[in-house]
Amino acid sequence: MGDLRSCHLTILEVGGAFAYKFEKLVNFLSLPTLIITDLDSVAAATADDEDADAEESNAASSCPVDTPGAVTSNETLKQWLPKMNVIHDLLAAETESKAPATTDGTSGLVRVAYQTCEPVTWEGSTEARAGRTLEEAFALQNLGWTQSDEGKNVGLRIR
């Protein structure tokens, strides 16, 4: 690979959950692509939810990633890479499912990145946690500041 200064880089803000709409174009053009998106965990739908308006149901059902049975509302994670719906499976996904090789075994050109479990320390206790969004993941890794009086105006309070 050439010197980074002589390479061309394009950042296209499409909202990570909608990146799957570009799958055919990316594959056709053979573009090396990094998709940065959120886990967007939601409570699994119940029979009662099927009668509710889909948009209201999705907005109301956001939940922490450690909620039992949580799924993603992110269509890119479900339809493109890594083609998984259950949050537990997404958190356990190996690199091969996030950046699959081509059929001939060479490195693939597409990679997806999203929140993963990272050690979080708060009040002397450490546990592995993942945020459902980039903002929540940032807050978890910076709890001392985001939960302090100085950081309260940032709006990243963790319950």
Burial class (CB in 10 A: 0-12, 13-18, 19+), 106: exposed
pLDDT tier at 103, thresholds 50, 70, 90 = confident
Please state whether the peptide bond connecting residue 68 to the residue before it is cis, i.e. omega within 30 degrees of 0.
no
Q: Which token pair is 48?
A: 């009662």
Mean per-residue pLDDT for 115-140? 95
pTM: 0.83
Q: What share of the chain is helix, strand, coil (3-state, %, to 5)?
A: 35, 15, 50
Residue range 15-69, pLDDT digits in tens: 888 999 999 999 999 989 999 999 999 998 776 655 555 554 445 499 999 999 9
Does the pLDDT of residue 75 top 60, yes or no?
yes
